[in-house]
Structure 1
């Protein structure tokens, strides 16, 4: 029963991760700016940790007690896994800092970035020292090391989230950008997700296998899907899609003839090359947003591409 339950759980988590990465990849091909690239890398490293540091640990937690193995070996494996998966967290937190600067369109401060990396390395070193300290005292180590690991990871992540939130709030006011409200809401969703993950980890890593772990794991994976979904729904308002800086008319005519582009599809391609969002195209051509999306899908299918970035590259001189 445990194996079947874990397989179902794994499929759901994989679906969440794949959907998130596909949306993130679509962002990079539609907007092609620094923020969306950093966000895509952040999602990759987050879900890498989620699978390696969370899901795999739960699997081992469920299987190892069924194996004829010494209790000390089981506890060592279970408690040391989060330490081994910290490189994924390191990259995701660095991407989080870079996301903050790129979201509000200000230049990164290398000095502040280096300070945060130094703090992380020191805390990671402290985590390792505590691990070996408790390992030398077998009576104290098994029950306490998990709490220490989770506590340190949560504190570090919240520190980086605080820095991200401070950057967004500080510079969005100074820049007076039109996407202020969306940036703040996105920041709020990320911070709340981080808080939820801290609570969820406490239960997941300290309880034996039970049915309560299923919703907890799903909540952990969804904690980063919710802000992504919010940004996806608001992307056309907050960001300017990639556009053709140097459109080549000859290439455009050849493209239209080769792939038998209709008159309406030509109009939409012209609008896309100007950097207009789907909603702006719909308003300009007096058609619905869904109609724009349908035409765009047909255009991509005819040409054999999957993104606005590819279309622009074909038309640019």
Structure 2
């Protein structure tokens, strides 16, 4: 049951993030989408893969040493996803405040990663001199290293955003600041749940659920306020003949034509509702019917068709 909930949360989060791309088509939204995809991929490799494999191996009576070896190795397969998610997080910091990257994100990411590699290598080469408590609790040591890395990259992301927010005087900087705070709180929630990962079975299930749901709060907040920060995808070179052909071919009603015209101007659903003096839900209903008639699934595709692409 917990696995189903985690899969549902993952699917919903990725779907919302993908809708951001098709609605706003910004570099930030693409980075955010890949951050979520890679973060959830690591979560499935690092959390669910060992659990599932342990159940399978135990059911076929594999010896305990083999079970431990396999389940401890599986999270390693998710490390590439984790590394990519951290890089996306650093890029998100720059693109959220509309700062040109110029490879700065990549350089910062590499410097921090190099420091981490040096530290981990030092631990490996001097493992004979490690305190007994660390040798006796390897899994807790690994969790601590993971927590420090997660916190480090999140602080990099936050630091980049706060640094440029101080220089910029945009109308909705508070929304950006709240989003960053929610990202930090989501991380604190995940890290705070880690110490309970080896408790009773039902607590472990709750911890896993908390880990997966933590990223949903900042995503939901951004979804509610994205129209205040970003301009929706809109036509730059509209083709009037193409537009009229679409209207005729797909039997678009007069009201639907008005909605399409507003979409092409880059208006949000709420702005369209205000402009046409209709409810927000009515705009969504019209938009859904338009997409169904034409056979598309996003604003981006509609705008591309009107552009004659």
- TM-score normalised by the chain length of structure 2: 0.91
Point out where structure 1 has 5 or more consecutive residues left out of the alignment.
Answer: 1-7
Q: Relative to 1, partners in 2 of residues 1:167 and 1:52: Cα closer, same or farther, differing over 3 Å? A: same
Q: What is the 5 A alignment of 1:127-276?
A: 127=120, 130=123, 143-204=136-197, 207=198, 210-276=201-267
Query: How far apart, CA to CA, are the structure 1 residues paired with 2:244 and 2:32?
Result: 36
Task: Check whether the contact 1:97–1:163 (CA below 8 A) recurs between aligned residues.
Answer: yes
Per-residue deviation, 1:145: 1.6
Task: Check whether the contact 2:242–2:305 (CA below 8 A) recurs between aligned residues.
Answer: yes
2:41 is aligned with 1:48: yes
Task: Check whether the contact 1:134–1:145 (CA below 8 A) recurs between aligned residues.
Answer: no
Query: How far apart, CA to CA, are the structure 2 residues paired with 1:246 and 1:221?
Result: 42
Tell me how large the CA RMSD over aligned residues is: 2.5
- TM-score normalised by the chain length of structure 1: 0.89
Query: How far apart, CA to CA, are the structure 2 residues paired with 1:124 and 1:147?
Result: 19
Structure 2 equivalent of residue 301 of structure 1: 292
Q: Relative to 1, partners in 2 of residues 1:278 and 1:195: Cα closer, same or farther, differing over 3 Å? A: same
Query: How far apart, CA to CA, are the structure 2 residues paired with 1:133 and 1:29?
Result: 50
Per-residue deviation, 1:172: 2.0
Structure 2 equivalent of residue 18 of structure 1: 11
Query: How far apart, CA to CA, are the structure 2 residues paired with 1:311 and 1:230?
Result: 26
Query: How far apart, CA to CA, are the structure 2 residues paired with 1:81 and 1:303?
Result: 45
Query: How far apart, CA to CA, are the structure 1 residues paired with 2:104 and 2:223?
Result: 32
Query: How far apart, CA to CA, are the structure 1 residues paired with 2:139 and 2:119?
Result: 14
Structure 2 equivalent of residue 110 of structure 1: 103
Question: Over residues 119-154 of structure 1, what are the superposed CA-to-partner deviations in whole Å (9 max), with x where a residue is unaligned?
Answer: 32442465477569769x9x9777422112111111
Query: How far apart, CA to CA, are the structure 1 residues paired with 2:283 and 2:100?
Result: 35
Task: Check whether the contact 2:54–2:71 (CA below 8 A) recurs between aligned residues.
Answer: yes
